[in-house]
Every structure is written in C-alpha cells, then in structure tokens.
Structure 1
C-alpha cells in the first residue's frame, strides 16, 4: 500500500523548490517579499501535488488497479486491520491451552491472508468472502468465546455455548485455510509448473548419461 516515506521525500523536494522560487521572484522579478512568498507557496504546492499525482499513477500501475479500485481496497484493508487488532486482544482473555492454540492458529491464518493482500492488493478480489464475511464471523465468535470463558460460574447453558462456539471456530479455521489456499492458488500453480519444468529438465539430462553407461556395459 502507500508508503508514508513518500510524504517526507516529497517535502524534501518541495521545500527547496519553494525557497528557490521565492528568491528568484525577489531577485529577478523584483517582487515584494509578500508577493514572492505567495508565489513560492504556489510553486511548492504545484510541485508537491504534482509529485503526489505522479507517485499515485505509478502505484496504481504497479498493482494493476485503477484509482477507484485501489482506494476501495485500501479502505477495506483499514477496516480489516481494526478487526485483526480485536482478534489479537482475545489472547489475554483465553485461559485454557487448547483454546489458546486455537486462537493462535486463527490469528496466524487471518494475518497471513491480510499480509498477502497487503503486498498485492489485487488479490483482494480472490478473498472477498474473507473480508466481507469470514473475518467478521471469526472476530465476533472469538470475542464471544473469550467472554464466556472468563465467567467464573459456568452452568450447563454456558458450557454448552462454549462447546458450540469452539466447534464453530474449528469450522471457521478450516474455512480460513480454504481462503488462504484460494489467495495463494496462483502461486501454488506457478510453483507446480516450475517443478514440472525442473523435473523434465533433469530427466533430459539423465537420459544421455544412462545411454552412455549402457553402451559401456555392452
């Protein structure tokens, strides 16, 4: 996604341009300091926003997205990041080892999907069900489970709810695994192809050696 360092880089370019523009307007065009300052600010603004537009255009081209698509995905990623923080906060409220392991696995899968899409925003469209449905379900159920788990007095109803929630979270873990596999499907396909090519290449190398060895034996 957008690099915050670009703001600093643009500022480092814009400030010298604004200062030089102000000096030029004073020395070469004999403008008053007030008018020269206004001109310097205007020149700086043009350079700053121009650099921003250029950087955005390169960014959209890099990810193969339009500005509208990029901003849409960026907003969804911001919301998803908040949900990731909520899910992580569940850790401190879980007491049993088995439940902790379950939360660790859920967090691992969720963060893995998020990091893949963050690196390549176009893959958002391959994980829409994750961002629109599955992530919400995981967060809400995990928070519910953590809340029930902290209750000191656990009657039959609470225990039954805990059991059902844990089972549903197990099902959601499998669903997240499918989401991750879907997001990584192209990488897996590419790797499989590369492996097939490598195996084919090795087989072609081994054939002449086998023939040579066979001729020696005969």
Structure 2
C-alpha cells in the first residue's frame, strides 16, 4: 500500500524548489515578489503532484495492478480495517476464557489474511470470499456472542443461542483457515518446489559419496 513517507518526501522536494524558483524569477526575470511567488507556488505544486503521479505509476507497476484495480482494493481494505477494529473491541466484553481463546484465534486468522493482502494487494482476488462474506459473518457473530455472553440473565434460550453461536464460530474458524491457505497457496507451492529441488540436489551429492565409500570398502576387503 502507499507509504505515508512519500507525501513528506514530495513536500521536502517541492517546497525548496518553489523557494528557489521564486528567487530565480525575481533575479533572472526581474519579476516583483508577488508574481514571482505565485509562479513559484504553481511550479512547486506541479512538482509535488508530478512526483505523486510518478510514484503512483511505480506503485501500480510494482503490484501488477491498474489504477482502478488498486483504488478498488484500497477501498475494500479500508472497510475491512474498520471491521477488524470492531472485532478487537469484542474482547473486553467476553468473560469466558474458552470463548476468549476462540475469539483470539479468529482475530489472528483475520489479521493474518488482512496483512498478507495489505503487503501484496493483488492477492485480494484470491480472498474475495473473505472480504465479501466471511469477515462480515465473523464480526457480526462475534458481536452477537459477546452481547449474549454479557447478559446477566441466561435462561435456556440464551444458553442455546450461545451454544449455537459458538459452534458457528468454530465453523468459521475452519473457513478462515481455508481462506488463509488459499491466499498462501502460491507460497506453499513455491516452497514445496524449492524443497523438492533441494532434496534432489542432496541426493545427487550423496550418490557419488556413497559410491566412493563403497569402492573404498571393497578395496579394504580385498586387502
């Protein structure tokens, strides 16, 4: 995603350039201070926004996305971040240790998927079901569960609702694990390939050593 430091860097380049431009307009072109300052501001703004366009183009190329795709994903990530905040706020309302552990695990999986997509936005398309459906279900059910759990009066209907909600959250935990596996599938495939190559390389190295050892043993036996 976009680095906030880029905005500061652009300002650090554009502002001095505007000041230098203002001095040049006055000294070289003989302009009075106000017109020179106006032209310098326009030039500085042009540099600032020009650098922004250049940085954005580099960013889109880095992620392999178009501007429209990137902004679409960025908007979805902003909405997802708000939902993560809602999920985190549920913890303070849960008193049961087992329920807290369950919500912590859900939160861990949710944040792991979010962080992977944040680092590589193109993976958003591999986790669309998470962003469009599963995350909403987790947040809404977690909030419902926390609310039911906080009620002082727990009759049979409340206890039954708590049990069913907890079971559904268990199912969602398994669903999120599948979502995470799907997002990381390419990494897992690449790692498996690298491991196979490494094993083959070790096998090729061990074969000559084994043959050499076998020849030496035969030679000693003959003696």
TM-score range, shorter chain: over 0.9
CA–CA separation in structure 2 for the residues paired with 1:72 and 1:44 = 30
Question: What's 2:5 paired with?
Answer: 5
CA–CA separation in structure 2 for the residues paired with 1:180 and 1:44 = 45
Question: What's 1:122 paired with?
Answer: 122
Question: What's 2:201 paired with?
Answer: 201
* 1:184 lines up with 2:176 in the alignment: no
TM (norm. structure 1) is 0.99
Task: Please give the secondary structure, in 2, of the residue aligned with 1:95.
Answer: coil
Question: What's 2:212 paired with?
Answer: 212
Question: What's 1:104 paired with?
Answer: 104
Shift of 1:216: 1.3
* 1:167 lines up with 2:146 in the alignment: no
Structure 2 spans left out of the alignment, 5+ residues: 219-223
Shift of 1:56: 0.2
TM (norm. structure 2) is 0.97
Question: What's 1:77 paired with?
Answer: 77
Question: What's 1:31 paired with?
Answer: 31
For 1:141-191, what per-residue CA distance to the aligned partner results, in whole angstroms no more than 9, with x for missing partners? 000000000000000110000000000000000000000000000000000
- Which consecutive aligned stretches of 4+ in structure 1 deviate over 4 angstroms post-superposition? none
Question: What's 1:113 paired with?
Answer: 113
For 1:106-129, what per-residue CA distance to the aligned partner results, in whole angstroms no more than 9, with x for missing partners? 000000000000000000000000
Question: What's 1:147 paired with?
Answer: 147
CA–CA separation in structure 1 for the residues paired with 2:100 and 2:46 = 54
Question: What's 2:43 paired with?
Answer: 43
For 1:22-55, what per-residue CA distance to the aligned partner results, in whole angstroms no more than 9, with x for missing partners? 1111111111111111100010011000000000
Shift of 1:198: 0.2
Structure 1 spans left out of the alignment, 5+ residues: none
Question: What's 1:20 paired with?
Answer: 20
